[in-house]
Structure 1
Amino acid sequence: MKYKFMEPYTFNKGVTLKNRMVMSPTTTMSSFYDGQVTNDEIAFYGARAGGIGLIIGEVANVIASGKGFEGELSIADDRDIAGLSKLAAAMKQNGTKAILQIFHAGRKSNDQILRGKRPVSASAVKAVFPPDSQEPRALTVAEIEDIIVAFGAATRRAIAAGFDGVELHGANTYLLQQFFSPNSNQRTDKWGGDRNGRMAFAKAVINRVAATIDESADRPFLLGYRISPEEIETPGIRLEDSLAFVDQLAESAVDYVHVSMGSAHRTSLNNPADHELIMTKLVKQLAGRKPLIGVGSVETPADAEAVLGMGAELVAMGREMIREPQWFEKIADGDEASIRYQLSPSEMDELKIPRAMQGYLKTAFYSVMHFTTDPEAAADYQNQAAPMEGFEQKL
Structure 2
Amino acid sequence: MERQLTDKVTLRHGAVLNDRMVMAPMVTLSGTANGEVTQEQVDYYGRRSQVAGMIIVEATYIHPNGHTFKGHLGMSNDHYIPGMKKLAAVIKKNGAKAILQLHHGGREAATYYDHGGIPLAPSDLDYQHNAHSSIDYPVQEMTLEQIHNIVKEYGAATKRAIQAGFDGIEIHGANHYLLQQFFSALTNHRTDEYGGNLANRMRLDLEIVDEVVRVVHEYGSKEFIIGIRISPNEIHGDRVGFDFKENQELIKQLNTKDIDYVHISGLTANSLSFRNYPAGQKETYTQLYKDVLSPDIKLITCGSVFSVDDAKEAAEQADLVGIAREALIEPDYAKKLHAGKASEIVTTIDPTTFDLLMFPETLKGIFTTDIDKDDNGKEKHGYFAGSPLPNIEAVRK
Partner of 1:373: 393
**52-61 or 216-225, which moves further after superposition?**
216-225
The TM-score normalised by the length of structure 2 is 0.88
CA distance in 2, matches of 1:248, 1:285: 10
Q: Which runs of 4+ in 1 moved over 3 A?
A: 111-114, 126-130, 344-348, 362-368
- Listed one character per residue, the Cα deviations across residues 150-203 of structure 1 (whole Å, up to 9, x for unaligned) are 101000000000000000000001111111111111111111120001111111
Output aligned runs, 1:128-147, within 5 Å.
Answer: 130-147=133-150
Report the secondary structure of 1:6's partner residue: coil
CA apart distance, 1:219: 4.4
Alpha carbons 1:21, 1:315 under 8 Å: kept: yes
2:330 pairs with 1:324: yes
Alpha carbons 1:21, 1:54 under 8 Å: kept: yes
- Listed one character per residue, the Cα deviations across residues 348-376 of structure 1 (whole Å, up to 9, x for unaligned) are 3221011111122346666631125379x
When residues 349 and 210 of structure 1 are mapped into structure 2, their CA distance, relative to the original with a 3 A threshold, is same
Report the secondary structure of 2:234's partner residue: coil
CA apart distance, 1:207: 0.7
- Listed one character per residue, the Cα deviations across residues 32-83 of structure 1 (whole Å, up to 9, x for unaligned) are 0000000011101100113521101101000011111111110001000000
When residues 84 and 27 of structure 1 are mapped into structure 2, their CA distance, relative to the original with a 3 A threshold, is same
Report the secondary structure of 1:5's partner residue: coil
Alpha carbons 2:66, 2:103 under 8 Å: kept: yes
Partner of 2:242: 237
Measured on the aligned residues, the alpha-carbon RMSD in Å equals 2.0
When residues 97 and 349 of structure 1 are mapped into structure 2, their CA distance, relative to the original with a 3 A threshold, is same
The residue type equivalent to 2:47 in the other structure is A
Output aligned runs, 1:179-194, within 5 Å.
Answer: 179-194=182-197
Output aligned runs, 1:96-245, within 5 Å.
Answer: 96-110=96-110, 113-126=113-126, 130-233=133-236, 234-245=239-250
User: Could you tell me which of 253, 259, 268 is aligned with 1:254?
Assistant: 259
When residues 366 and 122 of structure 1 are mapped into structure 2, their CA distance, relative to the original with a 3 A threshold, is closer
Partner of 1:306: 313
Alpha carbons 2:49, 2:96 under 8 Å: kept: yes
Output aligned runs, 1:20-59, within 5 Å.
Answer: 20-50=20-50, 52-59=52-59
CA distance in 2, matches of 1:51, 1:360: 22
CA distance in 2, matches of 1:295, 1:336: 19
**212-221 or 137-146, which moves further after superposition?**
212-221
CA distance in 1, matches of 2:242, 2:136: 20
- Listed one character per residue, the Cα deviations across residues 191-248 of structure 1 (whole Å, up to 9, x for unaligned) are 1120001111111111111101111114421110000021124241111111111111
The residue type equivalent to 2:5 in the other structure is F
- Give the % identical residues: 34
Output aligned runs, 1:2-17, within 5 Å.
Answer: 4-17=4-17
Partner of 1:349: 355
User: Could you tell me which of 277, 282, 285 is aligned with 1:278?
Assistant: 285
Aligned residues: 370
Partner of 2:67: 67
CA distance in 1, matches of 2:169, 2:104: 14
CA distance in 2, matches of 1:172, 1:83: 26
Alpha carbons 2:76, 2:157 under 8 Å: kept: yes
Alpha carbons 2:123, 2:140 under 8 Å: kept: yes
Alpha carbons 2:65, 2:112 under 8 Å: kept: no
Partner of 2:275: 265
CA apart distance, 1:307: 0.9
Partner of 1:390: none
Report the secondary structure of 2:90's partner residue: helix
